[in-house]
Amino acid sequence: MVELSIVVPVYNEEKNIRPFVEQIEKVMETINKNYELIFVLDPSKDDTENAILEEIKKNKNIKLIVLSRKFGQPAATVAGIENCNGNYCVIIDVDLQDPPNLIGEMYTKITSEKLDVVYAKRRSRKGETPFKKFFSKIGYETIHKLSDVKIPKNVGDFRIISRRIIDELKKLKESHGFLRGLVSFVGFKQGYILFDRDERFSGESKYNKFFGSLKIGINGLVSFSSKPLFIMSLSGFILAVLSFLLGIWYLFQKITGIDITPGLTTTVILLSFYSGIQLLGLGLLGEYIGRIYEEVKQRPKYIMDKKINFQKSEEE
């Protein structure tokens, strides 16, 4: 029986594979439980696949799932969770920003306190610009405040989940793969530990420096809340009232002959403002319609090309 599964989505990470595996092996020696380390690979341009295959030769506990094309980190993570065999499953990135030595503490906490989820909450974030930290903070606050499901702040995918959570996640059919939202939606007893997030060991982040966090935030917000639509409706109502009052003010000046606001420069400003609000509303509506379109097609969340070092019954 496998006690602990470790799921690691990877893409173009050949330089991080060996250092990561070394740290995982040290941690698992301390925990002293049967485990499996599952790499889920988006087909990479570098030598990541061969680097993992070399590690499989040395350690029978390491497994590899190769997807048919680049589905992205969320889909790769889901693929690992749905194909793991452990009583507990850890989700962690390979870049060592999320320290593997926390796995022992997370496992102890989830088993001793009889929890179903223990997530790692970031106390500090090394190697990130003030610009990114600022917008990350705003994004986490927005999602936390507006989501119908309370998604923890300053928390990524790094966590340990029980078999009960894994089985419930398998029942969910959403294709967006926003794991931190899905785990919060499932519920059950959840706890956390605090940690200081390190810089990447090697390589660069695969997320866009400017729009990556924004894309994740919009994905989470649209997936777990309809409140933005209500906010846009409320904004439209308020602007309509203001426009009506402005019209009354304009008629008052015409009737009384008092020209308090000469010229029509305010008209240009107001038109630009209203146009921006309308475009924002249309874009927001488009996000929801696009999500409906994706879900209705019911395409698979991922497609596997091959599974390496799994038992035959698992591969079938």
Cβ atoms within 10 A of the Cβ of 97, count?
Answer: 20
Q: How many CB atoms lie within 10 A of CB 104?
A: 15
Q: Is CATH 3.90.550.10 what the domain over 4-225+299-315 is classified as, yes or no?
A: yes
All structural domains of the chain with their residue ranges: 4-225+299-315, 227-297
Angstrom distance (rounded) from CA 182 to CA 187? 9
Judge whether 239 and 272 are in contact, CB under 8 Å: no
Residue 37 β-bridge partners: 6, 62
Amino acid type, 271: L
Between 5 and 281, residue with greater pLDDT: 5
Residues 6 or more apart whose Cβ sits within 8 Å of residue 245: none
Mean pLDDT of 131-152: 64
Structure-model confidence comparison of residues 238 and 40, the more confident one: 40
What's the mean per-residue pLDDT of the chain? 78
Q: Is the pLDDT of residue 13 over 70?
A: yes
- Residue 185 tokens read as 């939606």
**Burial of residue 274 (number of CB atoms within 10 Å: 0-12, 13-18, 19+):** middle
Of 133-137, 173-177, 247-251, 301-305, the poorest mean pLDDT is in 133-137
Give the pLDDT band of residue 91 (cuts 50, 70, 90): very high
Residue 176 has pLDDT above 90, yes or no: no
Mode of pairing for the β-strands spanning 35-41 and 62-67: parallel
Residue of higher predicted confidence among 176 and 90: 90
φ, ψ at 234 (rounded to 5°): -65, -40
Identify the pLDDT of residue 316: 47
* Start-end of H helices in 59-196: 73-82, 103-112, 130-146, 163-171, 179-186
Q: Are 226 and 292 in contact (CB under 8 A)?
A: no
Q: Please report where in the chains the tokens 């022992």 appear, as a residue.
A: 104
Higher pLDDT pick, 244 / 94: 94
User: Which band of pLDDT confidence, cut at 50, 70 and 90, is reported for residue 85?
Assistant: very high
Q: Which of 140, 288, 120 is nearest to 213 (CA)?
A: 140
**pLDDT tens profile 101-122:** 899 999 999 999 999 999 888 8
Helix (H, G, I), strand (E, B) or coil at 132: helix
pLDDT at 98: 86
- Give me 94's structure tokens: 């390979």
pLDDT the model gives residue 229: 67
User: Would you say 177 and 76 are in contact if contact means Cβ atoms under 8 Å apart?
Assistant: no
Assess whether pLDDT exceeds 60 at residue 273. yes
List of residues 6+ apart from 285 with CB closer than 8 A: 229, 232
| Percent of the chain topping pLDDT 70 | 64
Q: Is the pLDDT of residue 259 over 90?
A: no
Count of positions (residues) in the chain: 316
Angle (nearest 5°) at CA 20 between 19 and 21: 95
Helix axes 212-224, 179-186, angle to 10 degrees: 30
Quick one: which of 32, 29, 22, 82 has its CA closest to 54?
22
